[in-house]
Structure 1
């Protein structure tokens, strides 16, 4: 089993550089979280300032632990200041 989470973000153009600096901390720390299989931050090649965070977790316990981390709590509290609209989150559970 693996849990895949995709977070879609539309960034305010004037806040792009600040956002990129801000999200780097989340990505670097999340990659070190126990149970993380893959964690990356990508920009849509067709639409500037639209980003995607792709997360792969070993199991629900890893997701739960990640959700309690200081870096994710900070992200959830502050990400809205960089966005045009609320982020959209998609979660899927895969079976091996």
Structure 2
């Protein structure tokens, strides 16, 4: 499983528009065949900071997502919402059985 954390620093004046725009990305990404989970979380310690937490079946699913029209459309709009470059981290993980 591939886990991606994408931290976004959002312009305060554009926050409402960002939250509206990102909904299509979330909905479409969750519908992708290789998606396990796709969540947008708001940081409670840092103002206007959000974390997209993504889980994908494998690297092939990540590559398909990155090439998707909904992802590309959001990436094209992102600079007008963000005050800093995306901070992206990717991890390989496996569920732990208890």
In structure 2, the gaps of 5 or more residues are none
Q: Deviations over 1:40-90 (max 9, x none)?
A: 001001222100000000001111111111000111111011011111100
Q: In angstroms, what is the RMSD of aligned CA positions?
A: 1.0
In structure 1, the gaps of 5 or more residues are none
TM-score (norm 1): 0.94
TM-score (norm 2): 0.92
How many residues get paired?
95
Counterparts of 1:88 and 1:75, CA distance in 2: 16
Q: Deviation above 3 Å: which 4+ runs of structure 1?
A: none
